[in-house]
A and B are shown apart, each in its own frame.
Chain A
Amino acid sequence: MRASSESQQQTENGHTEWIEIYRSARLILRNACLRDSSLLYRWQHDGSVPHAWLSTTPISTFDQYEANLALVLRGSVTTIIAEADGDSDLGLLQAHSINPRDGWCSICLYLDPLHREWHIGAEALIGFLDFLLGRLPLRKIYLDLFEPNLAWLGELFLSGLAKEGRQREHAWHKDRYWDLLRLALFREDWPDLRRKVALNLDVGQILASSGSAGRAS
């Protein structure tokens, strides 16, 4: 269950553990931490769709899983998408393979089976991209998605991303192999795309005020 009060965001030694990087009337994005291991384990073993985040061996003990998760969290920017006013965790956004030297990183998006709506994916991605481009010296961001999950973002968002790669038959899921698509966004194209998608989502005002600031809770 997601912690929602200030007291639950403090570790025993009093350090703040959760940081919100985006908040709107509908969603928040907060950093994932080891306390989320049960939730992340459940999502990672979601068999309803192929997905491409936190890649590790699918069969492991929970102890091994947690040990691996600690490494993954250290080497990535992993955030939980959660309801702003409710108690539900909706999905995850993760930036990995961060390459500051060449100025790019890759993003994985996952949505919980009960919350697979394009406006959730699109709004969360706007908040996440704002955060990444505001905080890191990135020129370009890749988004890796399996074909059936493209609907999580909506057509407008997808139309603004360049389709640069298709890794054929990349992963086995259920009864067949699935292609992994690699979409790309350059920093200079972001303001225009952001404006269009935000308008379409009718969250322009809120997004403009939270912007890429990111704040500690």
Chain B
Amino acid sequence: MQEPYIQVGLRMALRPVRKSDAVLFREWQADLMCLDLLQMETSRETEGFATIWDSYLQRTLTMVIVRLPEERALGFAQGYNFDLSNSWCFALTYLSESNRSHQIGLEASAAFWDYLFAHLNLRKVYFAVSDRNSAWLDAVPLREIGLFIEEGRYERHFCREGQCWNELQYALYRNRWIERRRYLLSLFGLGTFGGTEEERSVESPVAGVATGRPASAASRLRHLGKQYLSRRKQGQFPQLMNMLSHEVVYDSPITGVVVGKQAVEELLRFRHRLLLRAAGRPLMPSIVWGAPQLRDSALTVAGSRDGSAPITLTWEFDSDQRISKIRSMGPPELVALYLAGDEPPL
């Protein structure tokens, strides 16, 4: 039977946790304790662990991060301490020691946050990281785009073998996620909400639009599918190239299967369409972008505003033709403008 994946990205997929995953969590237990990520008591005995495990699954919303196609478990993403009266929860992402990577961690986190905001009536999601483990926050400029708000810095919170670290507590608010999610999710070929900009804003209770709880993801996708078919019949193709994907993204979370240079070449051929986004307005109206240049293992695009000094964006690919680094260089005001946008320029 095929596994029901909850989110499929470029490097990983999220699947629901199973009772039989207890064996994985037992393997990870020591590492989780070391990282202070274990949200349950521990037990060395198998029977004791089974009881704890049951209660743990009931108290948390846990998804296992797997690598496709072999479905190898890499770690898990988890929501815990849910307070649905006040609409918040805590979230964490864990990757086992041999699979630790900023990119996979970030992709899994983004997929999980998107799931949380799409399916639960949450206003904010907290997460706490030790300052020795906060480098992943810089893997994509999350802090710079103002995705998180630091709401606590707890001095000498963790102490191990005579060394102490601080704990940083961040909050991710629904409105900020809605505004910036497309920028992040498009990097990973992910998506949950879909819909036009107007429809997305209706989902956000902080947008000031009277609204109820968002419709379920399935019904939204059905609605989007019908909308797409209807537009295609009318000869309208509101579309946006996903730079990581061979496929064209039609206003809906279609995920790509081919990545890397082939996708980029495809992307260059359709460059004239790149300045259009689904809503039909230019991506970055105040910056004029030049032609993207593909050289060796990097794609570079330069842009400027009113003849000012240029801003250069570079995507570097690794040997598997997956994005390994994104860099932005240029005058601070243009970089800020780019970072404030909810779309990458391609």
Contact = CB atoms under 8 A, between A and B. Distances in A.
Do they bind each other? yes
A164 B124 contact: no
Interface string A157-180: 000001011111111100001000
Contacts of A142: 154
B155 A164 contact: yes
B156 interface: yes
B157 interface: yes
Contact of A139 (B36, B159, B171): B159
Given A102-B159, A103-B159, A139-B159, A168 B154 contact: no
B198 interface: no
Contacts, number: 49
B291 interface: no
Nearest to A180: B151
Main secondary structure of the interface of A (DSSP, over half): strand
A166 B152 CA distance: 6
B159 A165 contact: no
A99 to B, nearest CB: 9
A142 B155 CA distance: 11
Interface in B141-172: 149, 151-159, 169, 171
B41 to A, nearest CB: 10
User: Size class of B's contact patch?
Assistant: 20 to 34
Interface string A55-83: 10110000000000000000000000000
Given A139-B159, A167-B169, A172 B154 contact: no
A104 interface: yes
Interface stretch (B80-88, B103-111, B214-222): B80-88
Interface in A84-123: 102-104
B105 to A, nearest CB: 23
A177 B173 CA distance: 14
A140 interface: yes
Interface residues of A, number: 23
B338 interface: no
Given A102-B157, A102-B158, A139-B156, A172 B85 contact: yes
B86 A172 contact: yes
Nearest to B123: A169
A170 B169 contact: no
B126 interface: yes
A165 B123 contact: no
B86 A182 contact: no
Contact of B156 (A55, A140, A169): A140
Nearest to A177: B86
B138 to A, nearest CB: 22
A167 B152 contact: yes
Contacts of B154: 142, 164-165, 182, 184
Nearest to A171: B86
Interface of A: 55, 57-58, 102-104, 139-140, 142, 162, 164-172, 177, 182, 184, 186
Interface of B: 36, 83, 85-86, 88, 123-124, 126, 149, 151-159, 169, 171
10 closest cross-chain pairs (CB), A and B: A165-B152, A171-B86, A167-B151, A164-B154, A102-B158, A102-B159, A172-B86, A166-B151, A182-B152, A165-B151
29 contacts: A55-B83, A57-B85, A102-B36, A104-B157, A139-B156, A140-B155, A140-B156, A140-B157, A142-B154, A162-B155, A164-B152, A164-B153, A164-B154, A164-B155, A165-B153, A165-B154, A165-B169, A166-B151, A167-B126, A167-B169, A167-B171, A168-B171, A169-B124, A170-B88, A171-B83, A172-B85, A172-B86, A177-B86, A182-B152
Given A102-B36, A104-B157, A170-B88, 15 more contacts: A55-B83, A102-B158, A103-B159, A139-B159, A165-B151, A165-B153, A167-B151, A167-B169, A167-B171, A168-B149, A168-B171, A169-B123, A170-B86, A171-B86, A184-B154
